[in-house]
């Protein structure tokens, strides 16, 4: 390729001297601008003008490669037409895209001496004609790693082929442009890094191996201003003096091997200001000093730690007493069980004592829940003072506490522990002007002897505790297999009780109530019987289970439905006598249940239409505990039932906590003297006097009386002397099936 005419050697030396002078000027100008940190656009613009001054007729440009490496953007082209600059700004690069687009894509020089005919420019012919451009030489601008940064282009208004000197000049221009671009970008990154360094919300300090501070951002200066005022030395050991020694040793061991480290420690801001920090340390090798430098990134996480502690307390501890809660207890037991599973040696055995405060509900009911909470706090405080440090104490329910005693312990040691707890709670609590003496019921279970799962060991202790309660409270019980059998029995009955109605396993039995003088049946008590797996289950066994589960409500409705059906049959046979039906306290426990009780009779009346419900033949037998509730809603419900014609009888009177004064304020019609009083008549005159007092008071209140449990002639004679109008007991009749009861009434009718 012809690169220009031959040059006369005699004229070459002065020309080269001029070139070197201009070259020195270009380098000096660009380097000065770089050192001054002038904007990139200003430096590139100066470079273009210097090249254009060196090569008359040249119009130069610098295009910069976009960040994504796909387009060319205007850098500097002060003497090219604006229309052309606008047309190529944002031009996508490619092997056949003009001169600069191809040079940027290929990474090599592209010379086009005739733009009118060159295939790379055919699609841009119109803009070339408008701008009068004929030739374009483009040199890729590359960085120190040989990556393309952009292009340096030289344009001419005539067809032109470069000389060797032209090629040297365009290479030089590209190198100077590269210097300006790299330096400008480096300074931009440096300035950006400096801004980031100073704007970080975290403390950052860079130190040498002797802990000299090489650089520190404002947050670090603020963090340590009162403790490291001169900021010449960062005493790391002192700063971390309140951190765990093993973590600090691990930190410096990593740094000594040139490894980074990250973890959470405690930092000393001042002698009285210790903060929680997240610390990241990077090791940087200084090529100038050939020593390690350390970048310490410190984040104050005290607020987060405080929040974590608050959340941890709320999650794992009881807010009222400050003791561990049920969740924490369960997790702790799980850890102990899993540790035991790993070692298979049983050395992680433990003992669980479950403590329930007897009759605590009465404190809340009489003194109020605020006083009840105060009592619980005082209990917790006393318990903490009584137990060894290695014992976990937790509050797992309203008035239930648990002690976990690690290791194998003798029966005597466990009994001693319970006695110590009992003793520390024995002194009365003074609350709200009252002196309260508390007792406890405790259940003791041992791991792994009694169970080998957390849920099971908790169940064992719970069963033992309830067993202690059933034995009269104020005592303790060790878990044993009989308790387990009883619990399994209760679970079995509980499971099958709900299907007893649908399986038609329930039946009603009737025990006649008679006139003591004539023996005539004047009423009958309806009794529920359950035949399960071919055996009758005692009501004393299954009724408490039904009440605890709430299923007693459905059972009660079934009993009343069956009793009403029996009454209708007796009415048709003209054999009807009043029926007394027991009502569980649970059926009146809430306002909703009370409304449900009344709605039941309303629905039955709706089923009968014009026929009236035989309210006058129904007596509801309630317990003294219902009267003790003293709820206006209960009283109003009973008043409504009496208004409809039913009678209200107090069953087993005298065995509960009530007094005769309740009778004066509660809507009742009858009392049933409990059989325990009747059966003690022969024991002495004091028991006779007690019955006489009940009879006298009842008559004064215009109440009828039924004596239960009459079994002997002596008992009957005494009842007659008191002129009690009705008796019930084995002396006359035992409970009988519906069929037998109907036959008995029929025989009585025939005799009459």
CATH of the domain at 737: 3.20.20.450
* Range with top average pLDDT, 8-17, 185-194, 424-433, 497-506: 497-506
CA atoms within 13 A on the CB side of 260: 9
Range 227-235 average pLDDT:
69
Asked if pLDDT for residue 231 goes beyond 90, the answer is no
185 and 219 share one domain = no
Asked if pLDDT for residue 242 goes beyond 60, the answer is yes
Query: Does a structural domain hold residue 684?
Result: no
Query: Does a structural domain hold residue 129?
Result: yes
28 and 140 share one domain = yes
Asked if pLDDT for residue 11 goes beyond 60, the answer is no
371 and 274 share one domain = no
* Range with top average pLDDT, 103-112, 181-190, 494-503, 629-638: 103-112
Asked if pLDDT for residue 4 goes beyond 50, the answer is no
Q: Please report which confidence band the pLDDT of residue 99 belongs to, taking 50, 70 and 90 as the band edges.
A: very high
Domain boundary among 281, 306, 331: 306
The residues near 582 (Cβ < 8 Å, ≥ 6 apart) are 525, 526, 527, 528, 559, 621, 651
Q: Are 268 and 241 within 8 A, CB to CB? A: yes
Q: Please report which confidence band the pLDDT of residue 8 belongs to, taking 50, 70 and 90 as the band edges.
A: very low
SS3 542: helix
Bond prior to 448 in cis (omega within 30° of 0): yes
Share of residues in the chain with pLDDT > 90 (%)? 53
Asked if pLDDT for residue 659 goes beyond 60, the answer is no
Residue showing tokens 């090629």: 167
224 and 170 share one domain = no
Specify which residues 213 forms β-bridges with.
207
Domain boundary among 144, 164, 192: 192
Burial class (CB in 10 A: 0-12, 13-18, 19+), 522: middle
Starting at the edge strand found earlier in the chain, the sheet holding 400-406 runs 392-397, 400-406, 350-357, 440-447, 475-478
Q: Which of 456, 465, 454 is nearest to 418 (CA)?
A: 465
pLDDT at 6: 35
The residues near 115 (Cβ < 8 Å, ≥ 6 apart) are 121, 128, 133, 134, 135, 136
Range 64-90 average pLDDT:
92
Range 288-303 average pLDDT:
86
Distance of CA 749 to the CA centre of its chain: 70
Asked if pLDDT for residue 63 goes beyond 80, the answer is yes
Query: Does a structural domain hold residue 485?
Result: no
* Range with top average pLDDT, 118-122, 285-289, 525-529: 525-529
Work out the mean pLDDT of the chain and round it to a whole number: 87
**Which two three-digit tokens encode residue 324?**
């561990």
Asked if pLDDT for residue 367 goes beyond 60, the answer is yes
Distances (CA, A) of 646 to 341, 525, 637, 653: 64, 14, 12, 19
The residues near 370 (Cβ < 8 Å, ≥ 6 apart) are none
Distances (CA, A) of 172 to 22, 144, 166, 176: 12, 15, 10, 6
Q: Which of 656, 725, 653 is nearest to 694 (CA)?
A: 653
* Range with top average pLDDT, 184-198, 343-357, 439-453: 439-453
pLDDT at 620: 96
Range 355-365 average pLDDT:
88
Spell out the long-range contacts of 499-505 with Cβ–Cβ below 8 A and sequence spacing 24 or more: 500/530, 500/532, 501/554, 501/555, 501/558, 505/530, 505/531, 505/532
Q: Please report which confidence band the pLDDT of residue 653 belongs to, taking 50, 70 and 90 as the band edges.
A: confident
Query: Does a structural domain hold residue 738?
Result: yes
Model confidence, pTM: 0.52
567 and 710 share one domain = yes
201-215, 453-467, 599-613: which has the minimum mean pLDDT? Answer: 201-215
SS3 682: helix
Range 289-311 average pLDDT:
86
Q: Are 3 and 162 within 8 A, CB to CB? A: yes
73 and 104 share one domain = yes
Q: Which of 679, 741, 670 is nearest to 709 (CA)?
A: 679
633 and 549 share one domain = yes
Q: Are 325 and 313 within 8 A, CB to CB? A: no
pLDDT at 654: 67
Range 261-289 average pLDDT:
85
**Which two three-digit tokens encode residue 363?**
């404190």
399 and 509 share one domain = no
Q: Are 463 and 487 within 8 A, CB to CB? A: yes
Relative to beta strand 135-142, strand 148-156 is antiparallel
Range 215-219 average pLDDT:
84
523 and 666 share one domain = yes
Query: Does a structural domain hold residue 493?
Result: no
The residues near 471 (Cβ < 8 Å, ≥ 6 apart) are 477
**Which two three-digit tokens encode residue 156?**
């001419």
Domain boundary among 162, 192, 222: 192
Domain that holds residue 245: 200-306
Query: Does a structural domain hold residue 692?
Result: no
Asked if pLDDT for residue 3 goes beyond 50, the answer is no
Number of domains within the chain: 4
405 and 529 share one domain = no
Q: Which of 449, 443, 450 is nearest to 402 (CA)?
A: 443
147 and 180 share one domain = yes
**Which two three-digit tokens encode residue 399?**
């008035």
Query: Does a structural domain hold residue 447?
Result: yes
SS3 425: coil
127 and 216 share one domain = no
Query: Does a structural domain hold residue 211?
Result: yes
Question: Which CATH number goes with the domain that contains 149?
Answer: 3.30.450.40
pLDDT at 151: 95
Question: Which CATH number goes with the domain that contains 440?
Answer: 3.30.70.270
């Amino acid at each position: 390729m012809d690169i220009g005419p031959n040059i006369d050697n005699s004229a070459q030396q002065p020309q080269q001297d001029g070139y070197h002078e201009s070259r020195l000027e270009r380098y000096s100008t660009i380097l000065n601008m770089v050192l001054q940190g002038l904007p990139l656009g200003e430096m590139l613009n100066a470079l273009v003008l210097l090249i254009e001054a060196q090569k008359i007729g040249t119009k130069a440009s610098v295009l910069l490669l976009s960040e994504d490496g796909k387009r060319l953007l205007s850098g500097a082209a002060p003497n090219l037409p604006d229309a052309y600059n606008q047309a190529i700004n944002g031009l996508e690069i490619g092997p056949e895209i003009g001169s600069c687009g191809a040079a940027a894509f290929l990474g090599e020089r592209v010379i086009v001496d005739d733009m009118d005919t060159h295939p790379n420019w055919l699609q841009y012919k119109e803009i070339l004609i408008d701008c009068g451009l004929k030739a374009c030489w483009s040199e890729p601008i590359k960085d120190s790693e040989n990556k393309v940064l952009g292009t340096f282009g030289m344009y001419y208004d005539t067809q032109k082929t470069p000389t060797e000197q032209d090629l040297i000049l365009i290479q030089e221009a590209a190198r100077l442009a590269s210097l300006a671009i790299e330096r400008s970008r480096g300074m931009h990154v440096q300035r950006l890094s400096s801004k980031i360094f100073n704007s970080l919300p975290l403390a950052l300090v860079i130190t040498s191996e002797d802990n000299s501070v090489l650089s520190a951002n404002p947050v670090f200066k603020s963090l340590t201003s009162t403790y490291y005022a001169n900021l010449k030395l960062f005493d790391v050991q002192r700063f971390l003096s309140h951190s765990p020694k093993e973590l600090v040793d691990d930190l410096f061991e990593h740094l000594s091997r040139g490894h980074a480290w990250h973890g959470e420690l405690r930092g000393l801001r001042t002698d009285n200001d210790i903060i929680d920090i997240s610390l990241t340390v990077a090791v940087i090798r200084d090529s100038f000093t050939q020593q390690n430098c350390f970048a310490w990134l410190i984040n104050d996480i005290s607020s987060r730690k405080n929040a974590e502690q608050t959340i941890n307390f709320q999650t794992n501890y009881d807010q009222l007493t400050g003791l561990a809660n049920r969740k924490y207890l369960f997790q702790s037991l799980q850890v102990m069980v899993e540790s035991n599973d790993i070692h298979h040696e049983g050395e992680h055995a433990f003992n669980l004592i479950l403590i329930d405060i007897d009759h605590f509900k009465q404190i809340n009911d009489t003194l109020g829940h605020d006083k009840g909470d105060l009592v619980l706090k005082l209990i917790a405080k006393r318990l903490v003072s009584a137990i060894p440090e290695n014992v976990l104490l937790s509050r797992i329910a309203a008035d239930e506490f648990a002690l976990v005693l690690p290791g194998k312990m003798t029966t005597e040691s466990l009994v001693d522990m319970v006695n110590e707890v009992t003793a520390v709670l024995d002194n009365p609590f003074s609350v709200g002007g009252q002196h309260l003496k508390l007792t406890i019921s405790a259940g003791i279970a041992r791991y792994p002897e009694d169970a080998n799962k957390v849920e099971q060991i908790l169940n064992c202790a719970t069963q033992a505790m309830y067993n202690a309660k059933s034995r009269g409270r104020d005592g303790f019980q060790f878990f044993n297999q009989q308790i387990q059998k009883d619990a399994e029995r209760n679970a079995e009955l509980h499971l099958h009780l709900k299907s007893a109605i649908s399986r038609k396993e329930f039946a009603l039995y009737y025990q006649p109530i008679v006139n003591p003088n004539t023996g005539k049946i004047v009423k009958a008590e309806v009794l529920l019987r359950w035949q399960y797996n071919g055996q009758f289950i005692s009501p004393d066994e299954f009724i408490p289970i039904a009440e605890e589960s709430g299923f007693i409500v459905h059972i009660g409705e079934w009993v009343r439905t069956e009793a009403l059906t029996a009454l209708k049959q007796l009415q048709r046979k003209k054999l009807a006598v009043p029926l007394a039906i027991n009502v569980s306290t649970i059926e009146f426990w809430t306002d909703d249940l009370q409304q449900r009780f009344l709605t039941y009779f309303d629905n039955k009346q709706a089923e009968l239409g014009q026929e009236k419900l035989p309210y006058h033949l129904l007596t509801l037998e309630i317990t003294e505990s219902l009267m003790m509730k003293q709820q206006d809603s209960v009283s109003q419900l009973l008043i409504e039932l009496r208004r409809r014609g039913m009678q209200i009888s107090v069953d087993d009177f005298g065995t509960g906590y009530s007094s005769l004064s309740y009778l004066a304020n509660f809507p009742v019609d009858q009392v049933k003297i409990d059989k325990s009083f009747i059966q003690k008549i022969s024991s002495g005159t004091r028991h006779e006097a007690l019955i006489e007092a009940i009879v006298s008071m009842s008559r004064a209140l215009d109440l009828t009386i039924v004596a239960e449990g009459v079994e002997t002639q002596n008992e009957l004679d005494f009842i007659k002397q008191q002129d009690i109008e009705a008796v019930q007991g084995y002396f006359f009749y035992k409970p009988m099936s519906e069929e037998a009861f109907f036959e008995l009434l029929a025989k009585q009718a025939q005799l009459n």
